[in-house]
Copies of this chain bind each other. A is one copy, B any other.
């Protein structure tokens, strides 16, 4: 199965990429490296999941939010590479909008890592940090950025 077929078999489809509203871009290619801007958990209607994980949002809910972010990152990878089978995920920075007492960031960012591996197989396995931010744009619960490699 291609990554696109795997997405299909999971009942998932890639969202449309929103246009950045400022002087930056959703991704930047540099040789065979691909740098993806941080994305949030955007629903299909364009609204975002918000709230502090550990207070307004449970770890389980935030796992689903991270999975939704991963879908948006896959959409950016697809647009940049044409074909998801060419994409290898190298490094993920998973940022959780958490309370100061929260400690379960890996369980949240697994939502992203799991989808990458489900869809891309071994090429979805990456180095990663999963950490807690003091705040995030528009109060989103999770933001994730990634560095990928595009194979020929």
Contacts and interface: CB of A to CB of B under 8 A. Distances in A.
A27 B127 CA distance: 5
B143 A23 contact: no
Contacts of A136: 103, 105, 131-132
A148 B95 CA distance: 22
Interface in A80-128: 88, 90-93, 95-96, 98-106, 110, 113-114, 116-117, 124-128
Give how many copies assemble into the complex. 3
A52 B143 CA distance: 21
A126 B24 contact: yes
A88 B33 CA distance: 14
Looking at chain A's contact residues, the main secondary structure is strand
Interface of A: 21-28, 30, 33, 35-38, 52, 54, 88, 90-93, 95-96, 98-106, 110, 113-114, 116-117, 124-139, 143, 145, 147, 149
A46 to B, nearest CB: 16
Contacts of A91: 28, 35
